[in-house]
């Protein structure tokens, strides 16, 4: 029942063909080449843009992996987008990946004219570990890394709460943070790596998208983070995907779980302005 309205709205978004550029180096921290792919809408611009950050538990994935369902939606809606690689654990530990996301924001702003991007209308978007990374970049902005919006798919935000409820630090976080015990040092590192620890007034608007049957990142991580943002005077919203598990790849199998696509575009347009 929901599939036809979704397809109709996607058709209404369609713009002229976009130009895609692949494997562009945007940073080289410690000699590691980090690359991105870019999609530039047809037309004069400047366009609102979205920097997309993949998931994979901070140790897997690439700019062409888990986030694939998001890219055609952004293209058809008329947004410019950039999907990035970042340094992975265990070789590269926190905060390397966060710094790489911030480097991508700086690069896109510096190259805004070349890519027909409005530097004041850039959003970060990430899923799972990527959701955590875009949230971290969003809550600790500098003049050069500040973005206009953050879209966070089922990212973990309070790592102390999540791991304490599990009774241990999970393997992915052990790899990412370099701690393995819920002792004083371990809790301090979890706190340091939690977006919830940095909430303050003056942050960009956040949209959280999360499935209620997520077994990897508990659903309550998103509404609790949103509540904290609102309490500090920021704007945020949670879009709940009833019954959905972890991962937008799985959501593709059920039309009822794809209403987030319309919501994501509507929210980005309301927050950034039309592409």
Residue at 180 is within a domain: no
Calpha distance 180→190 (Å, rounded): 10
Selection from 18, 127, 28, 3 nearest residue 86 by Cα: 28
pLDDT, position 87: 98
Calpha distance 169→166 (Å, rounded): 7
Asked if residue 13 has pLDDT above 80, the reply is no
The helix-helix angle for 260-272 and 3-13 (nearest 10°) equals 30
Do β-strands 149-153 and 236-241 pair in parallel, antiparallel, or remain unpaired?
Answer: unpaired
SS3 211: strand
Asked if residue 114 has pLDDT above 60, the reply is yes
Residue at 184 is within a domain: no
Residue at 112 is within a domain: yes
pLDDT digits (tens, 9 = 90+) for 201-242: 999 999 999 999 999 999 999 999 999 999 999 999 999 999
Number of domains in the chain: 1
Residue at 187 is within a domain: no
* Domain at 105, CATH number: 3.40.50.1820
Residue at 177 is within a domain: no
Radius of gyration of the chain (CA): 18
> Considering all CA atoms of the chain, what is the largest pairwise distance in Å, rounded to the nearest integer?
55
pLDDT, position 17: 87
pLDDT digits (tens, 9 = 90+) for 159-187: 999 999 999 999 999 999 999 999 999 99
pLDDT, position 16: 60
Asked if residue 12 has pLDDT above 60, the reply is no
In sequence order, what are the residues at sequence separation of 6 or more whose Cβ sits closer than 8 angstroms to the Cβ of residue 72?
none
Residue at 117 is within a domain: yes
Residue at 173 is within a domain: no
Asked if residue 84 has pLDDT above 50, the reply is yes
34-40, strands of its sheet edge to edge:
19-27, 34-40, 80-84, 47-53, 117-127, 149-153, 206-211, 236-241
pLDDT, position 11: 39
pLDDT digits (tens, 9 = 90+) for 257-273: 999 999 999 999 999 99
Residue at 167 is within a domain: no
Long-range (24+ apart) CB contacts under 8 A made by 18-22 are 18/42, 18/75, 18/80
Write out the residue range of the structural domain in which residue 245 sits.
3-158+194-270
Predicted TM-score (pTM) of this structure: 0.94
Asked if residue 275 has pLDDT above 90, the reply is no
pLDDT digits (tens, 9 = 90+) for 116-141: 999 999 999 999 999 999 999 999 99
């Amino acid at each position: 029942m929901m599939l036809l309205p979704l397809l109709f709205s996607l058709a209404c978004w369609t713009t002229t063909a976009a130009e895609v550029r692949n494997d562009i180096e945007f940073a080289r921290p410690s000699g590691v080449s980090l690359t991105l792919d870019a999609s530039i809408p047809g037309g004069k611009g400047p366009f609102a843009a979205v920097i997309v950050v993949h998931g994979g538990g901070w140790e897997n994935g690439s700019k062409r992996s888990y986030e694939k369902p998001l890219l055609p939606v952004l293209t058809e809606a008329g947004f410019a987008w950039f999907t990035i690689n970042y340094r992975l654990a265990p070789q590269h530990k926190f905060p390397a990946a966060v710094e790489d996301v911030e480097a991508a924001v700086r690069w896109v702003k510096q190259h805004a004219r070349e890519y027909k991007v409005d530097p004041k209308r850039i959003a970060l978007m990430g899923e799972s570990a990527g959701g955590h990374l875009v949230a971290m970049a969003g809550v600790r902005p500098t003049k050069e890394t500040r973005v206009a919006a953050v879209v966070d798919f089922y990212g973990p935000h309070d790592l102390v709460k999540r791991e304490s409820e599990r009774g241990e630090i999970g393997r992915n976080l052990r790899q990412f943070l370099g701690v393995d015990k819920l002792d004083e040092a371990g809790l301090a590192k979890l706190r340091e790596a939690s977006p919830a620890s940095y909430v303050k007034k003056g942050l960009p608007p956040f949209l959280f998208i999360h499935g209620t049957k997520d077994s990897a990142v508990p659903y309550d991580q998103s509404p609790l983070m949103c509540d904290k943002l609102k309490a500090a005077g920021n704007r945020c919203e949670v879009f709940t995907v009833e019954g959905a598990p972890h991962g937008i790849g799985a959501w593709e199998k059920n039309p009822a779980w794809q209403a987030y696509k319309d919501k994501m575009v509507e929210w980005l347009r309301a927050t950034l302005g039309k592409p």
